[in-house]
Amino acid sequence: MCNLSCENKWITCGDLKAIQNAAIRAIFKIRYDTPSKELYKIAQLPSVEERMSDLNEAYALTAILNKNPLFEEMKEEYEYLNDHYLKDFKTFLCGVKKLS
């Protein structure tokens, strides 16, 4: 889930997805009933969710490598929760211990 603020209005992933899909349809002159997955294949673009996930991961890894104190505290809390409660819930931060 992503929410972006733009001029006091919140833009959701659904909004971004609709804009991206409309742009792809206009550029490639594709029918409106074409599924999103097909649009992404034709345009050779990642989905909004994939791109947001990539950006989140890049931001987190940069924060860890640069020893951001706020992120370090959040990472320690995440590691504690993961070790004690979320053993089967895996995210990209699970393998980051080796970097820090």
Write out pLDDT tens, residues 57-96. 898 888 888 888 888 888 788 778 877 776 666 666 655 5
- Residues with Cβ within 8 Å of residue 42, at least 6 apart in sequence: 24, 28, 30
Question: Given pLDDT bands bounded at 50, 70 and 90, which one contains residue 40?
Answer: very high
Task: Using only the alpha carbons of the chain, give its radius of gyration.
Answer: 18
Question: Looking at residue 32, what DSSP letter applies?
Answer: T
Question: Given pLDDT bands bounded at 50, 70 and 90, which one contains residue 7?
Answer: low
Residue 97 has pLDDT above 60, yes or no: no
Q: What pTM value is reported for the model? A: 0.61
CA distance 44 to 58: 21
